[in-house]
Amino acid sequence: MTALPSHSGETAAIDLAAYFRRVGFGVGTGGLAPRADLATLRALHARHLATIPFENLSPLLGMPVPLDPDHLHHKLVDQARGGYCFEHNLLFLGVLQRLGFAAEGLAARVRWNLPHDAPVTPRTHMLLRVRIDETDYLLDTGFGGMTPDAPLAWQCGLEQATALDTFRLRRITTDEPGAAGETYALEAKIGAEWRVLYLIDPEPKHRADFEQMNWFVATHPQSRFVNHLVVARPAAGARHNLFNGRYTIHRRAAPPEVREVDSVEALLGLLGDVFGIEPPPHPVLHQRLRAVLGISA
Q: Which residues are catalytic?
A: 85, 125, 140
Q: Of 51, 89, 91, nearest to 234 (Cα)?
A: 51
* DSSP letter string, 196-249: EEEEEE-S---HHHHHHHHHHHHH-TT-HHHHS-EEEEEETTEEEEEETTEEEE
Distances (CA, A) of 287 to 39, 54, 231, 263: 45, 21, 18, 12
- Cβ neighbours of residue 283 closer than 8 Å, sequence gap 6 or more: none
Helix (DSSP H) and strand (DSSP E) numbers for the chain: 9, 13
The phi, psi pair for 46, rounded to 5°, reads -65, -45
Pair 172, 185: CB distance under 8 Å: yes
Strand partners, 246: 243, 260
